[in-house]
Amino acid sequence: MSSSRQQSGTTLLELGMVLSVSAILLTLAVPSLVEFHARSQLKGARISLFTSLQNARIHAVSYGKHVLLCPSDDGEHCADGTEWSPGWIVFVDEDRDRERSPGEALLWREAIEDSRQSVTTTRGRTRIRFSPLGTAPGTNLTISLCHRGIPQTSSKLVVSNAGRTRNVVDAGPDPHCNG
């Protein structure tokens, strides 16, 4: 009586082919996944900033106070310049000096954890103050958001003098995003 044994494994050639096909598929998929992840993170930052702007305006109108939104490095005080990437704060500006003084209520703060995200404002206006009427006196303010190194992720928020904030999602490539 002869017994025949069947092989139930894979050959080295089959394993090599599977690895080759997998490597090719990963090469095609990984860049798309990186951009998808960058877009998702940036969408979260844009929504957070949009919400902060809306809530600051609502607070100003509801309580009849001047409310300021500004970039912040430490989560307590306003930072100078157009770079909002570390985060921002929202506070009641009782003395209307556009700086957070001792005793002025900090309404909330937001921090951006990913240093590859760029959030910048136009040069002429780096802070937003909402009046008790809900207006944001001054020039229109554009806040640009993007993921550094992926210029096609660019989007913008525009705050008008009337205090209205709008999204510009397909804003085109942004020069801040190239590096």
Q: Is the pTM of this model over 0.95?
A: no
pLDDT at 174: 66
Per-residue pLDDT tens digits for 113-154 = 888 888 988 887 889 999 999 999 988 899 999 888 777 778
Does 9 score more than 80 pLDDT? Answer: no
Q: How far is CA 157 from CA 9, 10, 146, 174, in A?
A: 58, 56, 11, 13
Residue ranges and CATH numbers for the domains of the chain are 31-177 (3.55.40.10)
Query: Which single residue is written with the structure tokens 């089959």?
Result: 14
Q: How far is CA 14 from CA 5, 74, 169, in A?
A: 20, 57, 47
Per-residue pLDDT tens digits for 25-78 = 887 777 777 888 888 888 899 999 999 999 999 999 999 999 999 999 999 999
